[in-house]
Amino acid sequence: MIRHLTLTLFAAAILYFVTSALSPYDDFLVGEIALYLIALAGLSLLTGVNGQISLGQGAFMAVGAYTMALLMTHTKLNFTIELVAAIGAAAVLGLVIGIPATRLKGPYLAGMTLLLALALPPIADKWNGTFGGDQGLTTTVPTAPGTINSEQWLAWIEIAGALLTLVLLANLLRSRFGRSFRAVRDDEIAASLAGVHVARTKVTAFVVSAGCAGLAGAFLGLSTGVVNTGEFPLTLSIQLLAAMVVGGTGSLMGMWWGAILLVYLPQWSTSLSGHFNLGSGVSAYLAIIIFGAVLIVVMMVAPTGIQGGLRRVWGLASRRWSRLSSVGPAPTTTAPTTTAPTTGSSSSRHVDDRDGQ
């Protein structure tokens, strides 16, 4: 806990100074990195640590976002309570989905979560009076103190949520729950024989992952200012899964890389399209094409993701440095100096006596 809190405070200080020096638009992008980091961290726990493949993370984000928007529209609750409610609503749905999901594995589980991502948007479109239909529901960012602009204030809120989520998940993975997650992933039968309740462990991972997605969805609704079905397409769930793989499955630090790619790849693709005067049809799919190319390259160069590749390079460099340090400089040899004997000295007489024996 102390180490995780120390790293978190250090990261918070760096991000505070970074966001203070950036423009409002760049602060907006940093906030988006933070919210995608929350969703990816929960997905990494579910898929990378516990071994359950999910394609429904975008659906859980939609539940959190709509919960936040409904509370803002119809109530006057505190902002923190609205965030907790968004997390709770998504976690409850994760519990409902996680219980039957304990009997499914591999592509069957992925298909079930994919069905969830496909089924939720039509529900919002059917009840237009409640969920706003295509127009959606509006959200309002809490009033910033002093002269802080709204983009920077929202970025700080999202960064605080992301760092708090990482601390909680890091400590959870270091506890007996994390060991149970990994044991179920590696071998369910062996974990059951060791006393681990397999079904309960799977459901717990699903609930925690869904809660993280709910918080990320609430932040996404605040960033866009409106919550509608267009913000949570099926491609969002697929991109989250791909970004998790690129960053490093099962690594919380690796999720930073995945979140950065999710935010900045569309920006880079737009600039590239404008530079080469590509058509609107190509520009619309250019980000997905680049993301797929990055995924292929990373899997070929570093099968464990960007973070795994960096860890491997660091390990090789550390071992090489240790070997070079242990060898040290080669010892220098000095030829012995011989002094010519002096006639009549004691050394000369000693040599003469020894030779004569």
CA distances from 288 to 36, 235, 274 (A): 17, 9, 16
Round to whole Å and give the CA distance between 346 and 214. 97
Tokens of 170: 């890091």
Task: Give the residue from 219, 269, 263 showing the smallest Cα distance to 243.
Answer: 263
Rounded-to-integer distance, Cα 46 and Cα 151, Å? 31
What is the model's pLDDT at position 345? 44
Say what the pLDDT of residue 76 is: 83
> What's the confidence (pLDDT) of residue 311?
84
What pLDDT, on the 0 to 100 scale, is given for residue 267? Answer: 79
User: pTM (2 decimals)?
Assistant: 0.85
> How many CB atoms are located within 10 Å of the residue 59 CB?
28
Amino acid letter for position 90: A
pLDDT of residue 289: 79
Long-range contacts of 182-188 (CB under 8 A, 24+ apart): 182/49, 182/50, 184/50, 184/51, 185/49, 185/50, 185/51, 186/51
* pLDDT for the residue numbered 355: 43
Q: What is the pLDDT of residue 159?
A: 94
**d(C-alpha 97, C-alpha 111), whole Å:** 12
* pLDDT for the residue 331: 56
pLDDT the model gives residue 348: 42
Name, in order, each residue with C-beta under 8 angstroms of 263's C-beta and a sequence gap of 6 or more: 29, 32, 33, 36
How many Cβ atoms from other residues are within 10 Å of residue 130's Cβ?
A: 14
What DSSP string describes 253-315? THHHHHHHHHHHHHHHHHHHHHHTT--HHHHHHHHHHHHHHHHHHHHHH-TTHHHHHHHHHHH
**Which residues of the chain are under the pLDDT cut of 70?**
273-284, 327-357
Q: Do the beta carbons of residue 9 and residue 130 sit within 8 Å?
A: no
Give the pLDDT score at 221.
92
Instruction: State the DSSP code for 252.
Output: T
